[in-house]
Every structure is written in structure tokens, then in C-alpha cells.
Amino acid sequence: MKELDPLVFLSVFQEMLGFWLWIMLAAAVVGVVAFVALLVRERGLVSRRLVLSEVLGIFGGAVALVIMAKVSSSGFTDAGGPADWFLIALVYGVGLVATVVLAYTVLGWMSPRRPAH
């Protein structure tokens, strides 16, 4: 593969995840829009909520690894080279960041910051 073609990645993810790919992409778009709207509404981040979201992100990364192992034909014991371990770390990182953003957003809309008097 000499060129980086996004349609190849889309085809591979479609093959691996099926209809769940579109659900995950829609959730990502809705989550990011809701996160940005929350930041604009509150004019910044709330540190307590961010720390709680980061703790939840640790578990979200682990869940992303479990999903990856379920949808692929290989497991963690099949990882042989640096590229495999880089991909595993990348999946964990994406799961962590996605969980932090979505958790922060849900917590923010459920219990918004009270204005200071």
C-alpha cells in the first residue's frame, strides 16, 4: 500500500464493525457537538468534572480494547511486532479520549455548573 486512501480504512472498518460503525460515528459527531456547546455555555472546563471523566476514560480505553478483540480475528497474544503494539496503544488512547469527552459532556448536561454569586 503506497498511498493512504481513507476509503480503504472506511471499507475495513465497515467490514469489521458492520452497522455499529455508523452508530459509533454518529455518537462521535453528536458527542463532539454537545461537548463544544457545553464549553461555550459554561465558558470553560470544570476541573472536578474533568477529573472524574478522566478516571472513567481509563475504563473506556479498556472497553475499546475488548471491543477490538471481539471484532478482529486476532487477540492480544497474536501481537508480534511494534506496529501491532502501536495499534493496541492507539485503540486504547482513542477509547480513553472518546470516553473522557462523552463522560464530561453527559455529566455537564446532567448537572450544569452553577453561576457564582
Note the pLDDT of residue 105. Answer: 96
Predicted TM-score (pTM) of the model is 0.80
Q: pLDDT digits over 51-78, tens only?
A: 999 999 999 999 999 988 887 776 666 7
Most confident of 6-10, 81-85, 106-110: 106-110
CA-based nearest residue to 85, from 76, 73, 94, 95: 76
CA-based nearest residue to 47, from 104, 116, 102, 110: 104
Q: pLDDT digits over 37-46, tens only?
A: 999 999 889 9
